Amino acid sequence: MKQVTYEIRGLVIETMIPAIKASCESLAGVRNVRVTALDTDTARLMLVVDGEMTEELESSLDSVMRAKGLELVTPPTVEAYAAAPAPPVAPVAPKPHVAQTPPPEKGKKVSLTAAISTVIVAVVLAVLLTFSLTTAYMKANTSTVITPGQSRPEEGPFDQLEIIDRLFRSATVLDIDEEALITGVLKGYVAATGDVYAEYFTAEEFQSQMDTNNGKMCGIGVSVVNGILNLNGVDYQVITIANVYPDSPAEKAGVLPGDHIMYVGKGEDRTLVHELGYTQALAVMKGEEGTECTFTVLRRPAGAAEGTPYEEVEITAIRETFTTRSVTFRHYSEDETVGIIKMTGFDNTTRDQFVEAVETLKSEGCTSFVLDLRGNPGGLLTSVEDVLVFFLQEDDTIITTKDASGRETTTTVTLNKAVKVMCGTVDLNEEDIGRYRDLKISLLVNDYSASAAELFTSNIRDYELGTIVGTTTYGKGCGQNTYPLSRYGYDGALKLTSFYYYPPCGEGYDGIGITPHVEVELSEEAQKYNINLLPDELDNQLAAAVASMK
């Protein structure tokens, strides 16, 4: 036996370590695997092999890592470990994550060749370096300060940026916020690349994104939509409550779905949402755990007819950290044997909440199910893999990805030696494979069903597991990886489009979308409502989905 040590490069977080260990131990001749995270994008891999480490076994290990978006680095010597850290290397694509933000408006959709991540990160760092060196040089050499009208030869793409920086520092009478300056440049660069899904995250934004992926949020516990309320012939912008999370501060304070937030703030200091604007009003409602959030809602009495005057109710909720809901469920009001499961995204809460939904509805007598993915913008690839395992069989293909170099990686439903499912989060067991395969289901989609929602839809379609109803989906068949900048000594992270993906049938739908089996547009009457607040009796798409299962 021989102990071997490697380094793993890529986005290595604690939740990935069990999957890495399980994958390595599934290889013949490998045992006693230990994975130690060194930082967010580097880990140390130690394992014991029977006999010598062969090229074939090392190649298998490399394949395991590449399948998870990681790089296996040749083990350094003990002296090298003691003397210095490993030299910087170009980032390697981590486990792919489908875009987590809502897709842009239809008119702004473009089809892009996947960006080369190494180049992008290098250029971003070049901008950082340009500013830091310029600032230091300016402080030490005041004679180099240029003034308006002074010319300077331009040699590179960022020389003009350096000129603007020097002009500001030599001519402005205002104080420059260095942190805001760098953040603005980085966000501006990313926005100008043409990658509509790319983002630069500050350290705080990156942490918030990670919390969101894990379903953690500090607030009052509601999902909201941008609404318009007509009062006495005047349209007012409001924040409309779509859902209230169970056991949330909002539920405890008496907030109800369908409430319209008209004012934010307390008493005489309250301000109309219409005056602040939707985004700013939401920002006012955010705050730290344990603090008060006060707002005024307009609501009609339960069962009141259209045209009944609204009641004005001031509500105060205490902000808490809570687990978000990506899955909600209920019975169809027109037929109690039909369960409606609304999936608003795919994050680390989705799998368990989906199981809860199915099992609860089954215990309450539901024999068929509508999975409503309308407006679902996508989420984590591992999350959608977890849910799909319940419908697929062993060795079924879930997704094939192709990166900037043309390398293809296929993810299938497979088991390791410990009889654990290797795709997704590796928290599923053999008995979970195909657990809900025999359910009678129909999927509801629309033009805002995107990314991971489309991957889920395409798998159900390709394996003929249910009927797709609604309108053609958004058409986002490309994915994003997030690269922490900690490797280079900076805070924050960069997310950019780095691969295309293809469903089991092998035909991509980026820029095209998925056409339903049964195409149904919402009726004019139904279009007057937000999709999250649409009554069952007016939802003709839902009625068509139920009819497709008869």
Q: What's the total number of domains in the chain?
A: 4
| Residues 416, 361 within the same domain | yes
CA distance linking residue 222 with residue 241, whole number of Å:
7
Q: What is the pLDDT of residue 121?
A: 38
Characterize the bridge pairing of strands 234-244 and 222-231.
antiparallel
* H helices present in 214-364, as ranges: 249-253, 273-276, 278-285, 350-363
| Residues 296, 239 within the same domain | yes
Could you list the pLDDT tens digit for every one of the 550 residues in the chain?
Answer: 777 888 887 766 666 777 788 778 778 888 888 887 776 667 788 888 888 888 888 888 887 787 676 788 865 433 332 333 333 333 333 333 333 333 434 333 333 233 333 333 333 434 433 333 333 333 333 334 444 444 444 456 778 888 888 888 888 888 888 888 888 899 889 888 888 888 898 888 888 777 766 666 778 988 777 788 888 889 999 998 877 887 889 999 999 888 999 999 998 889 999 998 887 888 888 888 899 999 999 998 766 677 788 999 999 999 988 777 889 999 999 999 999 999 988 988 999 999 999 999 999 999 999 999 998 888 889 999 999 999 999 999 999 999 989 999 999 999 988 899 999 888 899 999 999 999 999 999 999 899 999 999 999 999 999 999 999 999 999 988 888 888 888 889 998 999 999 999 999 999 999 999 999 999 999 988 778 778 999 999 999 999 999 8
Cβ-contact 497, 480 below 8 angstroms: yes
CATH no. for residue 33? 3.30.70.260
- Whether 89 is covered by a domain: the verdict is no
| Residues 282, 405 within the same domain | no
Q: Which of 306, 323, 340 is the last residue of a domain?
A: 323
- Whether 356 is covered by a domain: the verdict is yes
- Whether 111 is covered by a domain: the verdict is no
CA within 13 Å, CB half, 57: 17
Burial class (CB in 10 A: 0-12, 13-18, 19+), 525: exposed
CATH no. for residue 438? 3.90.226.10
| Residues 335, 312 within the same domain | no
Domain that holds residue 125: 116-192
- Whether 460 is covered by a domain: the verdict is yes
pTM above 0.75, yes or no: no
Tell me the CA distances in angstroms from 351 to 23, 71, 380, 382, one per residue in order.
21, 28, 11, 10
- Whether 94 is covered by a domain: the verdict is no
| Residues 356, 263 within the same domain | no
Q: Which of 323, 342, 375 is the last residue of a domain?
A: 323
- Whether 204 is covered by a domain: the verdict is no
Characterize the bridge pairing of strands 327-332 and 397-403.
unpaired
Characterize the bridge pairing of strands 478-484 and 493-502.
antiparallel
| Residues 41, 131 within the same domain | no
Token couple for 419: 């009889």
| Residues 289, 319 within the same domain | yes
| Residues 75, 133 within the same domain | no
Q: Which of 40, 66, 83 is the last residue of a domain?
A: 83
| Residues 448, 497 within the same domain | yes
| Residues 271, 348 within the same domain | no
CATH no. for residue 245? 2.30.42.10
| Residues 250, 152 within the same domain | no
| Residues 379, 511 within the same domain | yes
- Whether 109 is covered by a domain: the verdict is no
Token couple for 450: 């995107």
Cβ-contact 451, 88 below 8 angstroms: no
Q: What is the pLDDT of residue 83?
A: 32
Cβ neighbours for 171, distance < 8 A, ≥ 6 positions apart: 147, 148
- Whether 198 is covered by a domain: the verdict is no
